Amino acid sequence: MAEPLIHAQDVTRRFGDFTAVDGVSISVAAGEIVGLLGANGAGKTTLIRMILGLLPPSDGALALFGAPPSREGRARLGYVPQGLGLWDDLTVAENLAFVDQAFGSRATAVPDALAGSRDGLVGGIGLGRQRQLAFAAALGHGPELLVLDEPTSGVDPLSRARLWDTVHESAEQGVGVLVTTHYMQEAEQCDRLVLMSQGRAVGEGQLADIVAGTTALAVRTERWQDAFEALDRAGVLVMLSGTHVRAVDADEVRVRAALGGLAAEVEPVGATLEEAMVARERSAG
């Protein structure tokens, strides 16, 4: 098998007494989209900074293109950080020209969607367009690997869909993709997932594999607030979807006992990824 583009084995990063990443292993192959999921503060960005060689690991082994992370390795990848890495006081065209010079690449064309903003300052265009520009800058030198840190945060659903189209087009051309997100629905866009919580990997695999280990019960009642409070007091992991109460990883006998005399229908349902993540976080804690 071909050597992975990213290979991290039991990587740990400490800041004094605080462990931001704790023994995480992850790999990304050519043409593969790997999603790194977790809440803010889970350690995703710290892990990415180690992969890029911007932070040294405290423990563990890490390779980028089969070698320790280096400037040469970073020249072979495209990176979209959370802050986008754009210059607000340069125009759209000037931002692309700057990146082209940094990578020694050919002139990157201004995306059609940004043609009308070519000579406008980046600080004056919307966030959705800024993200399109950041993607264009990351792809301009023909990278073998894309590292995307929360690339769709704060943009509207249509812009998010367009950016994911770009991700899939890149993967179809053989580019490996590592993408962090806290949007659970974006997990379906990935070939494989790594779930992080409090610096640790608490799950890995395809979406169906991760969800398969979690059960859920739908609790249907007009007194949904009372049902939620009763289950929560009983220590049941309980979540809300609108006004729909769902008990996670709890058997029906326990749920009905917690509800007491409250009239409710209790029915097994398929667990969601978010419920699987919360359940794993609880068990890991």
pLDDT per residue over 234-245, tens digit each?
A: 999 999 877 889
Are 72 and 179 members of one domain? yes
Q: How far apart are CA 251 and CA 117, in angstroms?
A: 57
Secondary element (H or E) of residue 50:
helix 44-51
> In this predicted structure, which of 28-32, 125-129, 193-197 has the lowest mean pLDDT?
125-129
Tell me: do 54 and 82 sit in the same domain.
yes
Q: Give CA–CA dist 244/227, Å, rounded.
A: 10
Q: Which of 174, 194, 210 is the last residue in one of the domains? A: 210
Q: Compute the residue count for the chain.
A: 285
Shared domain for 206 and 225, answered yes or no, is: no
3-class DSSP state of 15: strand
Q: What is the model's pLDDT at position 152?
A: 77
* Residue 197 resides in a domain: yes
pLDDT of residue 23: 94
**Residue 285, domain member (yes or no):** no
- Report the mean per-residue pLDDT for the chain: 87
**What is the SS3 assignment for 96?**
helix
Burial of 256 from C-beta contacts in 10 A (0-12 / 13-18 / 19+): middle
User: What does the block give as tokens for 84?
Assistant: 């986008």
* Residue 77 in domain: yes
Residue 73 has pLDDT above 70, yes or no: yes
Question: How crowded is the C-beta side of 275, counted as CA atoms within 13 Å?
Answer: 25
Please name which of 58, 92, 66, 64 lies closest in space to residue 79, comparing C-alpha atoms. Answer: 64
Total domain count, the chain: 2
Average pLDDT over residues 19-36: 94
Residue 25, burial from CB neighbour count under 10 angstroms (0-12, 13-18, 19+): middle
In a domain, 142, yes or no: yes
Cα distance between residue 86 and residue 130, in whole Å: 8
Tell me what pLDDT residue 62 has: 94
Task: Please check whether residue 228 lies inside any domain of the structure.
Answer: yes
Q: What confidence score (pLDDT) does residue 61 get?
A: 94
3-state secondary structure of 94: helix
Give me the residue label for tokens 């997100």: 181
DSSP character at residue 150: S
Regarding whether 24 and 94 lie in a shared domain, the answer is yes
Do residues 144 and 264 both lie within one domain?
no
276 within a domain of the structure (yes/no): no
Of the pLDDT bands very low, low, confident and very high (cuts 50, 70, 90), residue 281 is confident
Same-domain pairing of 246 and 198 = no
Mean local confidence (pLDDT), 97-113: 80
Domain range for 55 is 6-210
Q: What is the CATH number of the domain that holds 53?
A: 3.40.50.300
Same domain as 118, residue 28: yes
- On the 0-12 / 13-18 / 19+ scale of CB atoms within 10 A, 172 is exposed
- Shared domain for 23 and 149, answered yes or no, is yes
Boundary residue ending a domain (184, 210, 236):
210
Q: Are 199 and 240 within one domain?
A: no
Residue 27 banded pLDDT, cuts 50, 70, 90 = very high
**Per-residue model confidence as pLDDT tens digits over 243-274:** 889 999 988 999 999 998 888 888 998 888 88
Q: Which residue has the tokens 């949007």?
A: 183
Instruction: Give the contacts of 112 (CB within 8 A, at least 6 positions apart).
Output: none
Question: Whose CA is closest to 219, among 254, 253, 255?
Answer: 255
Whether residue 55 sits in one domain with residue 148: yes
- Among 45-54, 175-184, 248-257, name the one with the lowest average pLDDT: 175-184
Picking from 194, 210, 226, the residue at the C-terminal end of a domain is 210
Secondary structure (3-state) at 113: helix
Order of strands, sheet of 18-28, starting from the edge strand that comes earlier in the sequence: 18-28, 6-15, 59-64
Q: At what angle do helices 224-233 and 252-259 cross, to 10 degrees?
A: 110
The single residue listed with the structure tokens 């050519």 is 30
Task: Please say whether the beta carbons of 22 and 199 come within 8 A.
Answer: yes
Say whether both 229 and 144 belong to one domain.
no
- The predicted model scores a pTM of 0.82
> With bands split at pLDDT 50, 70 and 90, how would you rate the model's confidence at 36?
very high
Residue 264 domain-assigned (yes or no)? yes
> pLDDT value at position 285?
59
Would you say residue 23 lies in a domain? Answer: yes
Mean per-residue pLDDT for 167-190? Answer: 88
Same domain, 194 and 89: yes
Q: What is the pLDDT of residue 68?
A: 92
